Copies of this chain bind each other. A is one copy, B any other.
Amino acid sequence: MRATVMYAAGDVRVVNVPDVTLVEPTDAIVRVTQACICGSDLWPYRDMAQNEQGQNMGHEAIGVVEAVGSEVRKIKVGDTVIMPFAYSDGTCDLCHDGIQTACIHGGFFGNAPGMGAQAEALRIPFADGTLYPLPTQADGALMASLLTLSDVMGTGHHAARIAQVAPGKAVAVIGDGAVGLCGVIAAKRMGAEQIIIMGRHPDRLRLAQEFGATHVVTERGEEATQKVRELTRGLGAHSVLECVGTEQSAQSAVDIARAGGAIGRVGVPHYASVPAVQTFFKNVTVGGGPAPVRAYIDELLPDVLEGRIQPGRVFDRTIGLEETPRGYQAMDSREAIKVLIQL
């Protein structure tokens, strides 16, 4: 079968790999119908050391179940499913807590052979715990939005939830990538009164405004902090969604948070530490991490199916699997916000 493998920074290829097969009795095989490229795939695309074996890429997919192991009870062959970016047994204490990304037996897609989603098919551990079957009547036109439930929409929702977004609050979203844009959708959906999007790309900022952003801040650093303060009567934002993951964005999050406010971090941190004293004296809560998107599908799915939210609009380019390397280039050069791979 064909699969996307990365061998070094800038060197990503679609290659022939062995067909995937069931390994554990709790596995399923999913034939991918839609996959996509994630902002987090750009980190190795920029800095991966050469590796002859390569890394199987992709952790977001919708597909059809082609085979299930002997111990799979809920998931059936023929089901159309959402595949969250992490697999989880669905039975451990942490899964019961709703924190499936910390599942005791779990892990992440897009690492091991046969487990990348930018491929014709992939192997799904703990199929019953991991996969989310879609209702049979799901409209094909909704597939782009449904696909975001495997990562970016659930991740934006996680940021908003950890940042304690609630009706009447002032919210700042740092980052105008797909996750930041989904953070705007999440903040709007949770009733935020003011939603400030912070980014630099006019097309993305326009989309953010269509999603519900009420203000745009294009400055960075100290100037951005001043701007957010001006927009919030000198107080800062109750809720900050940190959707970038750089040292500067993390510091900005702390600077623009209102005293007693909360920061939801979902950008994988490319920095070592959060300032302990500044956050303490401001009584600012800092949380977040890999979003347990599996837990959020129940809540978000009806809004997608009934068209109340349209996170699929973050996809501004659709390609075939063989064009995937070109998709990486388009996202890396900011020509595309997020690229959908249609199989």
Among residues 118 to 174 in chain A, which have CB atoms less than 8 Å away from a CB atom of chain B? 162
Chain B residues closer than 8 Å to A265, beta-carbon distance: 280
Stretch at the interface among A94-102, A176-184, A321-329: A94-102
Min distance, Cβ A259 to any Cβ of chain B, angstroms: 3
Could you tell me the distance between the alpha carbons of A265 and B274 in the complex, rounded to whole angstroms?
14
Chain B residues closer than 8 Å to A276, beta-carbon distance: 250, 269, 271-274
Could you tell me the distance between the alpha carbons of A295 and B230 in the complex, rounded to whole angstroms?
27
Task: Specify which of B93, B274, B288 is in contact with A274 (CB 8 Å cutoff).
Answer: B274
Cβ proximity bits A234-277 to B, threshold 8 Å, 1 near / 0 not: 01000000000000001000000011101001001101111111
Decide yes or no whether A286 CB sits under 8 A from chain B: yes
Chain B residues closer than 8 Å to A258, beta-carbon distance: 94
Min distance, Cβ A240 to any Cβ of chain B, angstroms: 13
Decide yes or no whether A44 CB sits under 8 A from chain B: no
Task: Decide if B250 touches A99 in the complex (CB within 8 Å).
Answer: no
Task: Specify which of B101, B272, B274, B290 is in contact with A286 (CB 8 Å cutoff).
Answer: B274
Decide yes or no whether A70 CB sits under 8 A from chain B: no
Task: Decide if B268 touches A280 in the complex (CB within 8 Å).
Answer: yes
Min distance, Cβ A251 to any Cβ of chain B, angstroms: 11
Min distance, Cβ A61 to any Cβ of chain B, angstroms: 23
Decide yes or no whether A287 CB sits under 8 A from chain B: yes
Task: Specify which of B235, B280, B288, B292 is in contact with A289 (CB 8 Å cutoff).
Answer: B280
Decide yes or no whether A279 CB sits under 8 A from chain B: yes
Decide yes or no whether A46 CB sits under 8 A from chain B: no
Decide yes or no whether A233 CB sits under 8 A from chain B: yes
Chain B residues closer than 8 Å to A284, beta-carbon distance: 287, 289
Residues of A near any B CB (own CB < 8 A): 93-94, 97-99, 101-102, 162, 233, 235, 250, 258-260, 262, 265, 268-269, 271-277, 279-290, 292
Give the 9 A-B residue pairs with the shortest CB-CB distance, closest first. A285-B287, A273-B273, A102-B259, A99-B260, A283-B289, A274-B274, A269-B276, A280-B289, A274-B276
15 pairs, A vs B, C-beta closer than 8 Å:
A94-B235, A94-B259, A94-B260, A102-B283, A250-B276, A269-B276, A269-B277, A274-B279, A274-B286, A279-B287, A280-B288, A283-B287, A283-B288, A283-B292, A285-B288
